[in-house]
Structures are given as structure tokens and as C-alpha cells.
Chains A and B, each alone.
Chain A
Amino acid sequence: DIQMTQSPSSLSASVGDRVTITCRASQSISSYLNWYQQKPGKAPELLIYAASSLQSGVPSRFSGSGSGTDFTLTISSLQPEDFATYYCQQSYFTPRTFGQGTKLEIK
């Protein structure tokens, strides 16, 4: 299986901060990388697909970049509703695999 490794596993930040989360694949997945946000007790929500395409309805402060094995999710200016856990997921190989998650907490 393709291993997806996110860093950091947890992150403390303040409202207004710029935050970057990294995801690394164990082998090249081209741009077949999606990002999801999950809040406690809720289902994940799609933020970014195909590495850099913003899902409809998602605020423009979210952006994604990368290809091959290294990807980033950036939140340009943290809002209170952004404190959640973020997961990357590859859709190039079967089985689909997720990163272990990055928990973004309020500083």
C-alpha cells in the first residue's frame, strides 16, 4: 500500500496565522491527492482535489500544491472555524490511503 505521511501530526496556531501542512507519499502519485477537513463528531469534508483544485464552496484561503510525492495544504489566514483535523488521501493506487491526520489547535 502507498503510505501517506503528514507533518506535523499536530499544530498550534492563532487566528490570522498562515499555516502549512505537508503530505508525503511513499511513491509518486502524480497529482492524485485530495485534502479533507474533519471536525469532531462529523464526517470529513473535501477541501482540495487533484492536488490544487479548490472544491466548490470552500473558502479561497485554502490552497493546495505539489505533485509526485510531496504536497502541501496552506491556509492563508486562519479563521476560528478552521480548527479541525486535516487528512490527505491518494487516489492513484488501490487501495486508497489516507495520511494519519494533522490536528490543528488554537494557540
Chain B
Amino acid sequence: QVQLQESGPGLLKPSETLSLTCTVSGGSISNYYWSWIRQPAGKGLEWVGRIHASGRTIYNPSLKSRVTISVDTSKNQFSLRLSSVTAADTAVYYCARDSEAAMDLNYYYYMDVWGTGTTVTVSS
């Protein structure tokens, strides 16, 4: 079965760039969308953005100026870069597979496989 694992530095200073990688195992990264979601401690979930294996991206407008999501199909990985971080970017970051179901001539999207999450703290 498909498994996802986030990796990257857990501690950053303000103004630095957050870089995380999600490694997909047990299946191919091709033909799917892949998302990043974050969750500050004790708070709700925020969708950051997603990428298709072809490289097509969609970002949350609230983060769009600072976010880049990329994919490396040869390594079965996709990555998140978030520039100019502040304490407000402190959160658990999850990667997830964005699957689709064709029903009633529509395509429904949902995140059905998640990584375990990695904690990123921004502090001086």
C-alpha cells in the first residue's frame, strides 16, 4: 500500500526558507495530485497547495507569493518550499495523496493517504 513520509529541517529562524520533501513508497507518484497541508499546534487544518505528477500546481492564495511545490518523478518525491518564514508558519506539515473519483459525470477530489507529519518550528 502507498505510504508517504515527510522529511526536512525541524527548526528554522525567521526569514529563512522552509524546505520539506515527501517520499512516496509502495506506489507510483505518476497520475496523481499530491498536496501539502499544515496544522499549527492545537488548531485546525490549512491546505497549502498541490501538484500533479506532470508538474501542474495550484496554491493557496494566502501563501502563493511564498510557496513553491515541485515534483521529482524519478525519485518518487514531491517537495514544498516556503520562503520568508515567520513564527506563524510554525506547524505540523503533512503531505497527502489527492485522489479522484468519477461519479455522475463529475470528478470528486479527496485526500486519502497522508504522511505522519513533520513538525516545523520557526524561532529566533
Contacts and interface: CB of A to CB of B under 8 A. Distances in A.
Interface in B61-98: 61-62, 94, 96
Interface of B: 35, 44-47, 58-62, 94, 96, 101, 103, 106, 108-112, 114-117
Given A44-B45, A95-B47, A50 B58 contact: no
B110 A46 contact: yes
B44 A99 contact: yes
A94 B106 CA distance: 17
B44 A43 contact: no
A32 B108 contact: yes
Q: Chain A binding site: helix, strand, loop or mixed by DSSP?
A: loop
Contacts of A98: 44-47
Instruction: Tell which of B58, B96, B112 has the most Cβ of chain A within 10 Å.
Output: B112
Contacts of B61: 1, 94-95
B101 to A, nearest CB: 6
A96 B35 CA distance: 10
